[in-house]
Every structure is written in structure tokens, then in C-alpha cells.
Chain A
């Protein structure tokens, strides 16, 4: 379904999502940004309050711009299995899994979530647009693929009280929804599809409705959420939460292969910490399998992604990583002072063997702008486990009431 472009489209090139009227009403500082062609909030009122809503209450984030594809047909499972690196035959109907997909050379095109609604119907959610790739991948398969980004309005409800919000909003039986489960609920806002997924590493849900139900859903959650301190948030708060959860982002922590102009910027899943997804042993062939198998057999990975705990409290954004303070061995792709774990955390892309077998004596060179003067400091960094923050409430079923 393609909306006809109004003739004045160039005057306002970013589209409004179905939730825009509600977000715009709350917006105080007009801190918007463009996400996949849509106007999205960077910050709605206060970045810190929005962040703490994720960790201490409930946060509501509009994820409608997330790119969504419907994949359906008798060969849908075989198709998804050939497209993505994980074993889709192990994904049961009513479940979601996180996955990635590669080009012929085994370089990551994108990562995302694959929803399985039934034996023959899937939804792929991701950051980048891939329709030509998805269609070309479908040659030889009895499967229909459609981009449904515009046809589905989506909200991400995340935070310790998110379960209580849904319970009070009338999502009967929500307490039995396990992490990565999908279920349809009848609500006062009409039927809503809910998955227990998110990008915060916290207890949370994603909710999907047709666009015409969007505002009713928002209002339902908003009303039920008042006692549970629901806060509408922008991307800035989410970006910090996702870093604490150790999630990577296309375009930030890796360059999608189709966007990379420089061939050496492309990464295999093994090089960005997604090696655990790659099911080389699955029976079906999948894109990039031969290249990935060869890379693995030869241990030919050139990079690795690591989580760093850095001394001090100055975020190491865009900093370089050095071995013994001299040799440049990597760079920081995301960094922040984590208010929750109270550590100076970062993700870094390293050149092997640094970060892989050589893990000691790593230093980060941080430039901090202090009243128009850069102060340079070389501080110690230690490789730590991802995620930085992984609360028990994230996976407890039934979820706790906070």
C-alpha cells in the first residue's frame, strides 16, 4: 500500500508517524531527527528523565519507522532460512528471534528481529531497507514479500513497570508472555499484537497495530500508565539504554555492507560479536555461508567487537584504542557514562588479535572539550562481558510488579 505523495512533499520531507499528534503535544524543545524518512523525537522533554523512565518506570517510544517486511507463503520458512544466518527451523510459531543477514561474501547487511506468526508467515524488522535484496533472494521460492512499514504502527513499552501498565490496560494474560513470545490481545483499542522484545535490555514489550488504531492504543497505555509513571521518550534515552544492554546498531557499531564505500569497512557477523547467530550447521544453504565457513575455518576474522570498562567518567565517544599506549588497535563505536551501572562504558571495534587474544594493556585516548579547550587523556580500558546491565526482571515470567 503506497500513500500518494502530496505535491508539497518537498517542503516537509519527513513523514509523520501515526503517533505523531500525541508526541508533538508532549514535545517541549522540538528536538526531532529523521529516522527512516519519519520525523522522530530525539528528546521529548528531558533526556535524563526519559532515560530513568526506562530503568525505573515505564517508557513509551514510537518505533513505527522501524522497517518491517511481511514474508508469507508455503516456502516462507525455507526462504527466511536462506536469507538469514540463524536456523529458522528452530523458530517456533509465536516466537521472535534476533538475527542478521549477509551478502555473498558473508558481510553483514543488517541485523534485526524475525517474528514467526505461523508456520507460513513471518515479519522481519530492521533498520535498513532491503526490498530488492529480499525479492532477489526469493527467486526460486514460493513466497510473497511486502514492505509493511507504513501499514503497521508500533510502540515500544519498556521499563520495570511496563508489565503493570499492560495488565492495567486490559491485556488479559500478559503475565504469561515469555521473552521473545508473540501474542495477539483483544483490548479496548482493538486487537493488538504484542511481543516481549525491546532494545533496552530491560523488561519490555513491543506493540503493533494498524495505523488507524494507533492513537487509541497510545491513549489506552497512557491512561493506564499514569500510576506507573509512564514517560514518552526520544531516541537519546534509548541510545544510552541500548548501550548498557550491549546492543549494537547498524550505521553506528557497524556499517551495513551495502552502504560501505570502503571495502574494508564491511564486517562479517564474527567481527561484530554476532558469531553466535551463525548456524553453519543448519541443513539449508544461506547467504554468505561459504564465505563464513571459510572465514571460520581459517580463523580469518580481521576484527572483533568488545565491551570496554574505561577509567574515569568522561565518555570515550569516537576515541581510539591503543595497545601499550602506543599502537592503534581499534576505535570506540559507542560510549557513555552509565547512570545505572555507574561505570564508563563503551563498545569498540578492534583489529585482531587485539581484543581477541591480546586483551591487556589497552588504553583509550579521550579528548574532552572543556570550555573551548581540548584536554587529552590516555586512560586504561578493560575488556568486560556484554551486556553491561542485565537485570533479572528482564526475563522473569511472570514479570514482577514494581
Chain B
């Protein structure tokens, strides 16, 4: 066997792959990062929509970039800056009475709303933030091993228990009562304003296969709220230069730590010899060897397609094939020849995040269609106007608009396939209602359903999180039982993508945890040792 010239190969150049490669590089490993597409960044890329117009292809907000990733990779030195932090969310209403949730997760409510609602919201918001704060460490650390666990595993569990206990008696009871509830029931208890209910419920279900009344839809809100931007919990930010700036900073950090990045280099299979990963074979047939392979690709893709079921036990194969990963979010990116004319919204409103959902019930009704394999008749939208914050993204006076639309089920009934164009038209119709005349300003557009996202980015089901975020696919069960520790049954093969705990969103957290696991495993093993020590 020839001496490997790399200590580690990272498969997949999305933000987690970049973060893992950079972190491994920082730890002294010689790393090769392989990306199938022509550019790194995966679903966090900023792309050209038309000459002079740049849009976030899929992910358009930074609300959970892990501070430890930013700090360890010194991303600020590598160019990461925010054009806006602490974005407001405005729940649009057709009657011109938008409600704005300003500050992190509606710190202040701006708009025409009853005083009693403000008081109720302040109480509920405080409670939800406290509770998600308890879960936050658990949502970022390596999930504990329940069987054969060590002291660190017990500590993680212990800290969660302690965090819950520290809430105090009343809050603890309330936490335990609520933790598995759905967001609709939670809001039914406290809030009556439709705009506010819709905005909060929307945040709970966006990116999941859940409606507001689906079980555990509060947990997904906790997941969202456990994130932070620029040091503020539950806040949302826009990087300068678009989401692609996060990718650029990660790539710069990776390159600075010696990572070799190869694009247009799709991995066809992972080499297995004597029950350990020994390298990869590219689609071109080229074979590259390294004693460590970390895959940021989907866990099922990695193990079933790249490694192959033949190297795995049936129980694990069965669990991997059962991972639910069917996306529900379509993306519509628009280039406009002028500002988007949203009713009742000033120039400042455009710099925030806009949500169109008339009511919580409207989201549930939209979900009903998805449940039965159809596109929603009345999609709910999350809209950002990146160029309003960062004018460099569009020619002067012109704009780009980035829209997430729910629900667009990945698995469609056979007769609904043709609904793709109709769904795009419905999104535009909803948009037109809130911004009359916007349609005539469109100069270019790009529309992606989950199926398109799957094709373009090799994300099974086009699911944001590489696997549904639900309680049976979270924590120690993510991606599946037996793989939650980022290690796989094959020595030298690790998972470091969003399919692993804690999940998706541009966070870098799975990569951070995976690398800490890799480095811990490497202690005492000369094979993974830093620098040239692995060479014989």
C-alpha cells in the first residue's frame, strides 16, 4: 500500500464538511476535502441568479452558527461579518396590519396589538427561551452514550438533569409538562392574536414534516431557539455578502490550515479493507487513500451507497433505510428590477424577515395537503430581501428576494407531479397579495422543490436537516441508534454532516462534535496522530 499523502479525507464540501476539514487541519492533520459540485458551500451557497444579482440558493439566514466554530476557526479574521444581526420578523397581513416581532424571537412587539397579548407573549417568550436554554447545551454537545457510556456521557446527561432542576420547582414541572407538546396547543393556552400565533407556529414547523398540531412541534421550536447569532440567543442574522460569506470564511479558514480543496470531485465509494475505511474512489475512478474518512454527506448515503450494505449489519441497514428524510420546503429566488412593494411595510421592514401566514390554522391546513402528498393550496412563506441589507447583492435600486415556501412535500401523489408549476404560481399569488405588482418586477427567478434540492445537492428527500428533526430522530437517536457518536462500525470512518446530532441549519455543530470525537479516538492511536507521525 502506498504511503497516504493525506491523514484525512472529508467527503462533501457543504458548510459542515468545510468546518470539519478546517478543524482537522487546525489539529495538524493533512486534509483533503472532496466536493462533487463545481464550488463548495452546498446548501449554504450564494449563487448568481442573473448578472449582478446574487441570492442565497437555499439557506438564507444565520441563526445557529456555533460560536465555538466561529472562535476556533477565527472566522472573523477570515472575513465573516454580519450585515445585520438580530433581524426582526414581521407577520404580514393582507389588511395592512403587519405585526413585527423585533429583537430576538419578538423581544418587542411592534404594531397594533392588545396590551393583554403583549403581556401574555412576554411571559410565554420568556418561558420558551428559558426552556430552550436548558436544552441548548444538550443540543450542541456530543449526545451521551446510554450503554457502555463513560464519565463524559454521564456528565452530559447529568448536566441536562441539573439544568432542568435549576429551573426551580414550578418551571421544572412546566418544562416537563410542555416538552413533548405541539406548538398549537402551547399557543392555544396563551395567545389569541392570529398574526403572532402564525409567526411562532411557522418558526416551529419550518423545515420539518410537521404541522403546528403535529406531536413534538414544540421541540423543533426549542431546537430553533437554542441557536444564536452573534452572541444573542434565538436571534437571526444576515452575513455581509450573503450566506455564501459563511462558506467563504470557512473555506478560507480551511485553506489557511492547509486543507486541500478539490471541487468537481464526487466520491463514488469509500474503500473498505479489513473492516476499516482506507480511502475513497472518485466518480472518475481515481483512488485516494487516507487512514481517516469523515463524511459530511447524508448518513444513509454515506453508509448504504458509498460504503455499501455488505459491510454493515442488517439491523443498522434497516435503521438507516427507515430514517425519515422527506423535505417540505420549496425555495423561490427572485431578481426584481425595483424594490418589492409590500403593503404597509417601510424600507426598514424589508431588512427583516417576513412571514406570510394568515393564521396558525392556515398553516395546519397547508400541512394537510402535504400530509396527503399534495402541494399546499395556500403556501405559507418566509421572505427575506437580502439586497435590502446588503446592496452589493443586486444592481443599484434593484433587489433579490429569497423565499421559503411550505409545504412542498417531497413524496407527491402521482397525479400531483404536474403541480410544480402550479405551486410556484400559488407562491407568486400569495406574494402578489402582500406586495401588489411584485410579479411585474421579476427579471429572473429560480425555483427549487425538495426534489430539485435532492438532485442539486445530493440531500436525500431535499430535507434541510438530512433527516426529519423529530424526537425519535434526535439526540442519541440521530441519525440512528448506534451512529450517534459520529463514529461508524468501520474504523476510520466518521459522520460529520447535518444528518448527525444536532441536525441541520448552518451551524457547524455536527462537524465540531465529530472532530472532537475523531481527535479523542485518535489519542493513543498512531494512525490518526498529527502531522507526519502517521507515516511509516
A interface residues with partner B (beta carbon < 8 Å): 78, 82-83, 103-105, 133, 136-137, 139-141, 284-285, 287-290
Contacts and interface: CB of A to CB of B under 8 A. Distances in A.
Interface of A is mostly: loop
B310 A104 contact: no
Contact of A136 (B308, B318, B489): B318
28 contacts: A103-B313, A103-B314, A104-B314, A104-B315, A104-B482, A105-B315, A136-B318, A136-B321, A137-B314, A137-B317, A139-B317, A140-B304, A140-B308, A140-B309, A140-B310, A140-B317, A141-B309, A284-B310, A285-B275, A285-B310, A285-B311, A285-B312, A287-B314, A287-B315, A288-B313, A289-B313, A290-B275, A290-B313
Given A104-B315, A104-B482, A290 B309 contact: no
Contacts of B317: 136-137, 139-140
Contacts, number: 43
Given A104-B482, A290-B489, A136 B314 contact: yes
B321 A82 contact: no
Contacts of A82: 310
A287 B313 CA distance: 5
A82 B318 CA distance: 15
Nearest to A75: B310
Contacts of B314: 83, 103-104, 133, 136-137, 287
Most buried by A among B304, B311, B318, B482: B318
B313 A139 contact: no
B316 interface: yes
Contacts of A78: 310
Contact of B316 (A104, A133, A141): A104
A396 to B, nearest CB: 40
Interface of B: 275, 304, 308-318, 321, 482, 489
Given A82-B310, A285-B275, A285-B310, A139 B304 contact: yes
A391 B452 CA distance: 69
Most buried by A among B309, B314, B482: B314
A141 B321 contact: no
B310 A141 contact: yes
For the complex of A and B, the 7 pairs showing the least CB-CB separation, nearest first, are: A140-B309, A104-B313, A104-B315, A137-B314, A136-B318, A139-B309, A287-B313
Nearest to A82: B310
Contacts of A287: 313-315
Nearest to A78: B310
B304 A103 contact: no
A140 B318 CA distance: 12
Contacts of B315: 103-105, 287
Most buried by A among B275, B309, B313, B317: B313
Contacts of A288: 313
Nearest to B481: A104
A124 to B, nearest CB: 14
Nearest to B313: A104
Interface of B is mostly: helix
Contacts of A103: 313-315
A82 B311 CA distance: 9
Contacts of A284: 310
Contacts of B304: 139-140
Contacts of B308: 140
A181 B315 CA distance: 33
Most buried by B among A78, A284, A285, A287: A285
Contacts of A104: 313-316, 482
Contacts of B310: 78, 82, 140-141, 284-285
B333 to A, nearest CB: 37
Given A288-B313, A290-B489, 6 more contacts: A82-B310, A136-B321, A140-B308, A140-B317, A285-B275, A285-B311
Contacts of A290: 275, 313, 489
A265 B309 CA distance: 28
Contacts of A141: 309-310
Most buried by A among B308, B310, B318: B310
Contacts of B313: 103-104, 287-290
Contacts of A136: 314, 317-318, 321
A83 B312 CA distance: 11
Contacts of B309: 139-141
A285 B275 CA distance: 8
A123 B292 CA distance: 40
A139 B319 CA distance: 12
B145 to A, nearest CB: 15
B499 to A, nearest CB: 18
Nearest to A109: B314
A136 to B, nearest CB: 4
B433 to A, nearest CB: 47
Contacts of B275: 285, 290
Contacts of A133: 314
Most buried by B among A83, A104, A136, A288: A104
A249 B310 CA distance: 29
Nearest to B314: A137
A100 B312 CA distance: 18
Nearest to A134: B314
A133 to B, nearest CB: 6
Contacts of B316: 104
A287 B315 CA distance: 8
Nearest to A103: B315
A347 B318 CA distance: 35
A320 B69 CA distance: 60
B493 to A, nearest CB: 13
Nearest to A284: B310
A81 to B, nearest CB: 10
A210 to B, nearest CB: 31
A72 B315 CA distance: 22
Contacts of B482: 104
Contact of A139 (B311, B321, B489): B321
A139 B304 CA distance: 9
A285 B482 CA distance: 18
A11 to B, nearest CB: 37
Nearest to A105: B315
A141 B275 CA distance: 19
A285 B312 CA distance: 7
A256 B199 CA distance: 52
Most buried by B among A103, A105, A140, A287: A140
Nearest to B312: A285
A288 B318 CA distance: 14
Contacts of B318: 136
Nearest to B315: A104
A293 to B, nearest CB: 9
Contacts of B489: 290
B322 to A, nearest CB: 10
Nearest to B491: A290
A319 B309 CA distance: 44
A17 B313 CA distance: 35
B527 to A, nearest CB: 18
B2 to A, nearest CB: 23
A133 B308 CA distance: 17
Nearest to A132: B318
A288 B312 CA distance: 9
A103 B304 CA distance: 18
A141 B312 CA distance: 13
A140 B306 CA distance: 11
A257 to B, nearest CB: 10
Nearest to B489: A290
A312 B310 CA distance: 52
A82 B317 CA distance: 13
A290 B315 CA distance: 13
A104 B311 CA distance: 12
A83 B317 CA distance: 13
B494 to A, nearest CB: 16
B384 to A, nearest CB: 41
Nearest to B272: A285
Contacts of B311: 285
B521 to A, nearest CB: 16
